[in-house]
Amino acid sequence: MAARPLLRSRALRSLSSAPARISRPFSASTTRCLQQQQQQQQQNATTSSGSSPGEKTTHFGFETVTESEKTQRVAGVFTSVAESYDKMNDLMSFGWHRIWKDHFVTSLSPGLSSPSHPQAPQHILDIAGGTGDIAFRHLHHAHVLNANPNVAVTISDINPAMLAVGRQRAAERLPLASQRAALSFLEADATDLRAAGVPDASVDLYTVAFGIRNFTDIPAALREAYRVLKPGGVFACLEFSKADAHPLFNAVYKRWSFSAIPLIGQLVAGDRDSYQYLVESIERFPSQEQFRDMIVDAGFVVGGTGYEDLTGGVAAIHKGVKPIERK
């Protein structure tokens, strides 16, 4: 019989009440997706300039590049957009990103304790945490709404420029000394948290918002999430997704994305290319179901469909629980 995860929060309770999807070998849709990627990579390996024979390729937006080139170019994008990132988020999404982020964090209710174990300590790792939007919400929920000062949050990001903006904003925006004391910063690649010293089974809640589509090796990042979470710990991801179920809305949304966002990037941030990449990376990210299957393949148990669509699927929340015992 499958082990049931420990219940620590409303998010976990809602996961456990739905039929559990259990870890299993590569699912059909993931296999199809990987096969397509492999075929494309083989084709492109012969045509892509700059890729030496044998070096693995991946996508950077709509371009095919070597893995090392992708890592460098993603770093370039976020170094370039760091200062204008928060203003651009509001302009590009008409402020919707704030509503999605509020909903994401509320659904996880950080710091919520049981009457038998009040103010239970919790370690939250906010991966690709950038300028701190998610981490600050975690701290507000835990320390203010749930009156639990024993919740610590680490903002982890590969990019020092984004972390520098996050540090500056933390000093300005966190009103309580307990919140500022509970916040730490970590420069780390999400696909290799071991290199940054994050131990096995040390994290209660792993969050990643609008970050994972930028990773060079998403399955490696999911494996790392699984490794660093405690048994019963929760993986939660907020990411742009597919609004295909609503064709008319989707057509308007895509037209807006591809025409307006790079233009706004050019006018406001003086950087068209970075925003062109951001739009293309959204288009290349797997569907809700494909990403859910990747989470299951990493060993997580998901409840129900495993995801929640926001604004017709423009964004989606995926959650998974690390089981108490691996099957």
The DSSP string of 275-310 is HHHHHHHHHHSPPHHHHHHHHHHTT-BEETTSEEEE
Does 314 interact with ligand SAM (rule: CB under 6 A)? no
Q: Which is nearer to ligand SAM, 12 or 238 (CB)?
A: 238
Quick count: other Cβ atoms within 10 Å of Cβ 298?
21
Q: Cα–Cα distances in Å, from 291 out to 24, 238, 246, 294?
A: 14, 12, 19, 5
> Contact with ligand SAM (CB under 6 A): which of 65, 92, 108, 162?
162
Cα angle 232-237-240, degrees, rounded to a multiple of 5: 165
Binding to ligand SAM, residues 65-84 (CB under 6 A): 74, 78
Part in contact with ligand SAM (CB under 6 A); list of ranges 168-176, 206-214, 290-298, 301-309? 206-214
- Report d(CA 240, CA 280) in Å as an integer: 11
Q: Which is nearer to ligand SAM, 89 or 288 (CB)?
A: 89
Q: Which is nearer to ligand SAM, 133 or 297 (CB)?
A: 133
> Contact with ligand SAM (CB under 6 A): which of 12, 88, 203, 209?
209
Residue 244 known to bind ligand: no
Residue 217 known to bind ligand: no
- Report d(CA 234, CA 246) in Å as an integer: 30
Radius of gyration of the chain (CA): 19
Does 155 interact with ligand SAM (rule: CB under 6 A)? no
Q: Which is nearer to ligand SAM, 134 or 151 (CB)?
A: 134
Beta-strand runs (E) in the chain: 20-21, 57-60, 63-66, 122-127, 151-157, 183-187, 203-209, 229-240, 302-303, 307-310, 315-321
Residue 66 known to bind ligand: no
Does 286 interact with ligand SAM (rule: CB under 6 A)? no
- Report d(CA 78, CA 271) in Å as an integer: 11
Residue at 298: amino acid letter:
A
Which of 195, 199, 209, 200 shows the shortest CA–CA distance to 166?
Answer: 209
| 193 neighbors 154 (Cβ within 8 angstroms) | no
Q: Which is nearer to ligand SAM, 64 or 191 (CB)?
A: 191
Residue 190 known to bind ligand: yes
Residue 97 Cβ vs ligand SAM, minimum distance, rounded to whole Å: 7
Does 210 interact with ligand SAM (rule: CB under 6 A)? yes
Binding to ligand SAM, residues 178-197 (CB under 6 A): 189-191
Does 128 interact with ligand SAM (rule: CB under 6 A)? yes
Token pair belonging to 125: 């790792």
> Contact with ligand SAM (CB under 6 A): which of 179, 214, 274, 288?
214
Site residues, ligand SAM (CB under 6 A):
74, 78, 128-130, 133-134, 157-159, 162, 189-191, 209-211, 214-215
* Residues tagged in the binding site annotation for S-adenosyl-L-methionine: 131, 157, 189-190
